[in-house]
Amino acid sequence: MDLTAPAVGLQEQGQAPGTATPPGHPGVGGVPRLGPGQEWREYASGGGATFLAIVFTFPLNKAMFRQQVHNISPVEAVRQMLREGVRHVYRGLPSPLTMKTLSHSVMFGSYTQYSRLLYQNFHPALSKYQCKLIGASLAGASEATLMPLERVQVIENAFHFLKYLCQKATSYLLDLPFVSFQC
């Protein structure tokens, strides 16, 4: 079997119409067919991949953040983190870990389900790539609707930043010699 060739459905491979595609075999649109009740695997894959990525990259991101805030070298940032110990290196991890793991889990799983459903129901009218594009859009919309935690955090940070800018601008204007305020 040529692994570089695009996956095709069983009917295109010569199997009789109406026969079921075995689980794990390339199914419709090149998406592996899962047996009944196995859709959870896509959600678990997305969540697991994100979990591992965040756990491994969290110390690196923390070191980069220290470099930017304290204007120190990478070596000094790593030395500081080593002096603090592993417990402090991973301090602050649960919030982004939970938020992103759930968010990406929903996005991975729903993308696969949307793409599969679109291809099965609209294949003659929509190509495989159009089904995947629409599936990705629907998955992103589902993730944004079901997991608004990250967006709320971004909006809160933007609000605090704008408040800070307004305070700075006001204090700057009050310090100008030609501006006089009368109350």
Cα distance between residue 104 and residue 107, in whole Å: 5
Q: Summarize pLDDT for 111-134 with one digit per residue, the tens.
A: 988 988 888 888 888 888 888 899
Q: Which two tokens stand for residue 93?
A: 């991890």
> Could you tell me the CA-to-CA distances from 88 to 36, 51, 70, 81, 92 in Å, in that order?
44, 19, 17, 8, 9
Res 42: pLDDT: 86
Domain ranges of the chain: 38-146, 148-183
Assigned token pair, 29: 């649109």
| 133 three-state secondary structure | helix
Enter the tokens of residue 3: 């692994």
Structure-block tokens of residue 11: 């009917």
pTM of the model: 0.57
